[in-house]
Amino acid sequence: MRKIKVEMLTEEAFAPYGKIISSEGREDLGAPGSHSWFPQVVVREEPTSVNLMEVFPKEFVCKKFEAHDYTEETLIAMTGGVIVPMMPKDEFNVEHLKAFYVPKGTGICCAPGVWHFAPYVLGESVWCTVIFKNNTSHDDIYFKELDETVGMELA
């Protein structure tokens, strides 16, 4: 079985897929000693749904992917880090497959057309927030499978 290395999430490495969501480099407008506040990290014009997903431990192999033609999908790892395999838009090919580690408290915004699927966890289940245009999971989703199963391994 072919295997790929899980990469650390960097702006440069993730650029073909979308944007990273983080408080890094943003001004903290919170109240010291009370809370940190980083407003408008993601701004959407369309009706939006905020969804919760619990990701369970499973084998580090991938074959099935999904994409959305018109929707940017945001995934935020809330209770632990996750691994997300993906391929750039119009590049559904195992040669373009990468996997990124998204640390707890960090998120990613996948551009429309980017291939991805439910993340993987390193241990216990992890809760994630998924944000996208309302009804995306009904109106703007399609699936495709690779010809072969690909394993993922930590670097």
The SS3 call for residue 11 is: helix
Residue 135: count of CB within 10 angstroms of its CB: 12
Helix (H) or strand (E) holding 138: helix 136-139
**What pLDDT shows up at residue 51?**
94
Distances (CA, A) of 34 to 29, 31, 101: 11, 5, 30
User: Confidence class of residue 45 from pLDDT cuts 50, 70 and 90?
Assistant: confident
Amino acid at 48: T
| 129-154 residue pLDDT tens | 999 999 998 999 999 999 999 999 98
| 62-112 residue pLDDT tens | 999 999 999 999 999 999 999 999 999 999 999 999 999 999 999 999 999
Cα Rg of the chain (Å, integer):
16
Residue 76 tokens read as: 């935020």
How close are the terminal C-alpha atoms of the chain, in Å? 17
Residue 123 makes CB contacts below 8 A (sequence gap 6+) with 57, 80
Please identify which residue in the block is written with the tokens 């040669």: 95
**What pLDDT shows up at residue 8?**
93
User: Which of 83, 54, 65, 43 has the alpha carbon at shortest distance from 141?
Assistant: 65
Distances (CA, A) of 81 to 14, 67, 119, 139: 16, 22, 10, 29
**What pLDDT shows up at residue 40?**
87
Interatomic CA distance for residues 92 and 109, integer angstroms: 19
